Amino acid sequence: DAKTTQPTSMDCAEGRAANLPCNHSTISGNEYVYWYRQIHSQGPQYIIHGLKNNETNEMASLIITEDRKSSTLILPHATLRDTAVYYCIVRVWGETSGSRLTFGEGTQLTVNP
């Protein structure tokens, strides 16, 4: 799986948009970009994923650059409950390897009142 690079930490004011960047310059054509978050040592929680098009769901938006070498997770109106470690993961799914995720160290997002 491709290696990802994320900033160690970021701060955001409550109510503002949080933009979390991720570099994945070695991504290959069949690898998806996934975002998970982990709140206070709970089990990781799925946020969103994409292949090459921008994606949006009820939690966030995912912007993937045209060359797919980087992406940005956007939380449009951050709340205190969004304080968590955010993981950007690039993975290939395979019938024999199943759903394997390779976690890096992630970005600690702190939302301030």
Partner 1 sequence: NAGVTQTPKFQVLKTGQSMTLQCAQDMNHEYMSWYRQDPGMGLRLIHYSVGAGITDQGEVPNGYNVSRSTTEDFPLRLLSAAPSQTSVYFCASSLAGAQETQYFGPGTRLLVL
**Cβ pair 103, 87 in contact under 8 A:** yes
Tell me which of 29, 53, 96, 113 binds partner 1, using CB under 8 A: 96
Choose between 14 and 108: whose C-beta lies nearer to partner 1. 108
CA pair distance 89, 58, nearest whole angstrom: 20
**Span from 10-18, 56-64, 74-82, 101-109 in contact with partner 1 (CB under 8 A):** 101-109
**Tokens at 111, concatenated:** 């939302």
Residue with tokens 């993981």: 87
Which secondary structure element, helix H or strand E, spans residue 90, and what is its range? strand 84-91
Closest CB 75 distance from partner 1, rounded Å: 18
Residues within the interface to partner 1 (CB under 8 A): 32, 34, 41-46, 49, 87, 93, 95-106
